[in-house]
Chain A
Amino acid sequence: MKIAVTSRGRTLESPVDPRFGRAEFFILVDADSGAFDVYDNAQNLSAAQGAGIQAAQTVSRLAAEVVITGHCGPKAFRTLGAAGIQVVVGASGSVAEAVQSFKTGKLTPTESPDVEGHWA
C-alpha cells in the first residue's frame, strides 16, 4: 500500500506539513517495504486558487491509496474521495511517526474535511 504524506522536508524524519494543497513536499511511502520517494509541490505553493484540487490530482497520479496530512479542506477532500483515496488528518511529528501511527491504528481515515476552504 502506498501512502502519501505531506512533508516540510525531503526525509522520513522531516515534520509533517499541516497543509495539504500547499504542502512543501509529498513523501510517497511504501507501507510494506518502507521505501519512499519525494515529490516537490513547489508549483502549488504559489497557486492563486485550487491548490488542494491540484495536489489531490498529484497524489492520485502517484497511485497513493492513503493521504496523511494535518488538515484537508472541502475541495481537496472531494477530489481525493472521487479518486478513491482515503484521507487521514490530524497527523503531527515526523513523516515516519505519522506512517507508524496510521499502521498501528492511532490515526484513522476521516469521513469529512476538517477545515473550511481558503477560497470561495
Chain B
Amino acid sequence: MSGETIAYRPIGVIHSEHTTPEDTPAQPVYAQECLGRAEIIPEYADGLRDLEGFSHIYLVYHLHRAGPAKLVTKPFLQDVERGVFATRAPCRPNAIGLSIVELVRREGNVLHLKGVDVLDGTPLLDIKPYTAKFDRIEGTRNGWQDEVDDATARKRGQRGYRPKDAAQNPHARTLVRGGKEVTLTPGMTIAIASGKGGTGKTTVAVNLALTLGGPVRLLDCDVEEPNCHLFLRPKIKNLETVGVPVPVVDALACDACGRCAEICQFGAIAALKNGPLVFAELCHGCGGCLSVCPRHAIREETRPIGAITVGQAGDVEIVTGQLRVGEAKSPPLIRAVKKYARDDRVNIVDCPPGTSCPVIAALRGADFVILVTEPTPFGLHDLKLAVETVRQFGLACGVVINRADIGDSRVKDYCAAESIPVLVEIPHRREIAETYSRGQVLVQVLPEMRALFADLGARIMNWNKSPSRVAP
C-alpha cells in the first residue's frame, strides 16, 4: 500500500466569484450569499440525473492552489497550532477539499450553487448528495472550535471576502453574481455617468425618466450643479437639510493630550499646548477623535453641507441634492440623496462628471450604468476612464453617443473592441440644441427623440440578452 499513487481525473470544474485564496471564505457557512456553478464534463452528465431532488450536495475537489503540506498548522479560525487532520486547512498531504453547498438548480451539466467557498477554477473530483437521514448528527463534540466564539469565527471565516458593492443591492444579485435573467424591474437603479462633463447626462436622465412610463424616481446626484429640475419643473413636496458630524471639543474637560490630532488622517485637528483646534471643513466625520479621547471631551455636532428637495413632475418624482456653495466634499450629500431610492419603482441616478469620489458615491449600488459620451478625442479619453471606473465595481454598462455625427468613429471602435454595447446615438442637430436651451424636454417636443429614448429604454431592459456586456 505505502507509496502507491492514486490518480483521479476531474469530473468538472467549479466556478465562483473567488479569485484569490486570501479573499475566499473558509467554509460555506461563511459564504452563504456566494453563488457559483459546477460545470461537469459532458461524458459524466448522465451521472447527474436525479441530483436536483436534493437541496444540498457535497463537493469533493482538489485544492489546486494549496501550499505545501504541513502536519501542524494554524487553522483560519484560531492562532493556535493544531494537527492538520483536526482542521480543514488546505495544506494537507492529500489536498482534497470538501464543501456542503446548496444546489439552486441544474441546467444540463451545469449545477448552480449557493454558499460556494471554493476558488474559481477548482477541479471537481466528486459530487454526493447531502441527506439529513445519513448526515445530520446531533450532540457532537467540537474540539478546539468550542474555544472560538461565533462572532470571531464569522469574521475570521469570511477571511478577505467582502460582498461586491453592487451585490449588496438585493435587486442586483443575479446581475453581479453571474446570473443572466435581469430585467428592468421596480427597485432597479440605472446610473447615468460620463467621464467628461457636458456630454448630455442630464438630457439622457430626464428624457429616459419621462420615457420609461409609470412611476420613476430621478435622483439628481450631480449636487454641485443639479439641473434636472430645470427641465422637469417639479412641484416641491419636501425639503431636508443634510449635515455631516464634526467634533466639538469641551475645553474644560480636555487636557490637551493630542490623541485626537494624532488619529486624524485628514489633518482636521491641530494639537496645540492649550488644546486642540478643529478645522471642520477638513473633517470627514469618521468619529475617530471621539473614540480615542480618554477624557470624553469631544462630542459631535452636525454641520450642514447641503439640502435635498423632493418634487413631483407627472409620473417622475425628482430628488435633488444641492451642495452648499463653497463646500469641498459632496459624497455625504450624494449618499443622502441615494437613500431616497425606492424599491417599488425604477430609480435613475444622474451622476456628477468625472471619476473621483462623488462619482463613486453616485455609482455605488447601480444595476446598470449608461455612459454618455461624444465621438471626439476628449469624449473617448474620458469614456475610457469611466469604463475603468465602472469595471472596478463589476457593473454592467452601455454607451450613449451624443452629437453622434461629429468627430470620428474611434468611440465606436473602442466600444466594439471592449464589447460595450452602443445603446443609442443622439444626432447633432440644431433643433435638439434649441429645445435644450429653452429648457424644454426633447421627448415632449421632438417625435423622433421620443422614438430614440423608447429604444434606449427597451435596450436597457434587454441588455442581458445582448451578447456583449462589460465583464466585471
Q: A110 — which chain B residues lie within 8 A by C-beta?
A: none
Query: Do residues B267 and A78 form an inter-chain contact, with CB atoms below 8 A?
Result: no
Query: Do residues B328 and A79 form an inter-chain contact, with CB atoms below 8 A?
Result: no
Do A50 and B268 form a contact, CB below 8 Å, given A79-B277, A120-B282, A120-B328?
yes
Q: A57 — which chain B residues lie within 8 A by C-beta?
A: 261, 270-272
Cβ of B273 within 8 Å of any chain A Cβ, yes or no, is yes
Cβ of A75 within 8 Å of any chain B Cβ, yes or no, is yes
Cβ of A100 within 8 Å of any chain B Cβ, yes or no, is no
Cβ of B8 within 8 Å of any chain A Cβ, yes or no, is no
Query: Do residues A50 and B267 form an inter-chain contact, with CB atoms below 8 A?
Result: yes
Interface residues of B in 272-296 (CB under 8 A from A): 272-274, 277, 279, 281-282
B278 to nearest A CB, angstroms? 10
Cβ of A53 within 8 Å of any chain B Cβ, yes or no, is yes
Query: Do residues A82 and B267 form an inter-chain contact, with CB atoms below 8 A?
Result: no
From A50, A51, A79, A120, B272 is in contact (CB under 8 Å) with: A79
Cβ of A31 within 8 Å of any chain B Cβ, yes or no, is no
Q: A54 — which chain B residues lie within 8 A by C-beta?
A: 267, 270
Q: Considering only CB atoms, which chain A residue lies closest to B327 in the complex? A: A120
Cβ of B266 within 8 Å of any chain A Cβ, yes or no, is yes
From A49, A56, A75, B266 is in contact (CB under 8 Å) with: A49
Q: Considering only CB atoms, which chain A residue lies closest to B328 in the complex? A: A120
The secondary structure that dominates the A interface is: helix
For the complex, count residues of A whose C-beta is within 8 A of B: 17
A77 to nearest B CB, angstroms? 12
Query: Do residues A53 and B328 form an inter-chain contact, with CB atoms below 8 A?
Result: no
B160 to nearest A CB, angstroms? 27
Interface residues of A in 68-120 (CB under 8 A from B): 75, 78-79, 82-84, 119-120
A69 to nearest B CB, angstroms? 17
Query: Do residues A79 and B267 form an inter-chain contact, with CB atoms below 8 A?
Result: no
Q: Considering only CB atoms, which chain B residue lies closest to A51 in the complex? A: B267
Query: Do residues B282 and A79 form an inter-chain contact, with CB atoms below 8 A?
Result: no
Query: Do residues A50 and B266 form an inter-chain contact, with CB atoms below 8 A?
Result: yes
Complexed CA–CA distance, A83 and B271 (Å): 9
Q: B261 — which chain A residues lie within 8 A by C-beta?
A: 57
Complexed CA–CA distance, A78 and B279 (Å): 10
A residues engaging B (CB < 8 A)?
47, 49-51, 53-54, 56-57, 60, 75, 78-79, 82-84, 119-120
User: 6 tightest A-B contacts by CB?
Assistant: A50-B267, A83-B272, A79-B270, A82-B277, A53-B270, A120-B328
A–B pairs, 9, beta carbons within 8 Å: A47-B267, A53-B267, A53-B279, A56-B270, A60-B273, A75-B279, A82-B270, A82-B277, A83-B274
